[in-house]
């Protein structure tokens, strides 16, 4: 299976560590109304990770016949690799504009 979903999951894992207090605007359907709600990224990404984990575990004994499908363990591995790599590589120091020079 070829795809970029593991890399996208890695970006999501790095995002979780880089911006732990970020909030994500989400559309929520309440009966007939659609509204926007801000939910912490930790909850959304944690929920996504748990869904991938259970879906991957459920797909282990599904069939012995080779078939295409979603590579849940690639998502899990990418997510964990993104978290690990952002910790190992660190971040660049930001360069700020000097306050003593006025253009």
- Inside any domain, residue 65: yes
DSSP sequence for 35-102: EEEEEEHHHHHHHHHHHHHHHHHHTTTS-SS------HHHHHHHHHHHHHHHHHH--PPPP---SS--
Range of the domain at 10: 5-89
- Inside any domain, residue 100: no
Task: Please name the residues in contact with 77: beta carbons below 8 A apart, sequence gap of 6 or more.
Answer: 6, 9
pLDDT at 4: 86
pLDDT in tens, 1-58: 546 888 999 999 999 998 888 898 999 898 888 999 999 999 999 999 999 998 888 7
pLDDT at 48: 92
How many domains, the chain?
Answer: 1
- Inside any domain, residue 48: yes
- Inside any domain, residue 54: yes
**Structure pTM?**
0.74
- Inside any domain, residue 56: yes
The answer, yes or no, to whether residue 81 has pLDDT greater than 90, is yes
- Inside any domain, residue 67: yes
- Inside any domain, residue 43: yes
């Amino acid at each position: 299976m070829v795809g970029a979903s593991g890399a996208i999951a890695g970006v999501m894992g790095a995002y979780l560590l880089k911006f732990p207090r970020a909030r994500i605007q989400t559309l929520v359907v309440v009966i007939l109304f659609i509204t926007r709600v801000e939910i912490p990224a930790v909850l959304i990404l944690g929920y996504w990770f748990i869904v991938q984990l259970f879906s991957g575990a459920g797909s282990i004994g599904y069939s012995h016949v080779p078939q295409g499908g979603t590579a849940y363990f690639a998502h899990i591995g990418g997510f964990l690799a993104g978290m690990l790599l952002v910790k190992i590589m660190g971040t660049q120091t930001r360069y700020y504009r000097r306050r003593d020079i006025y253009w």
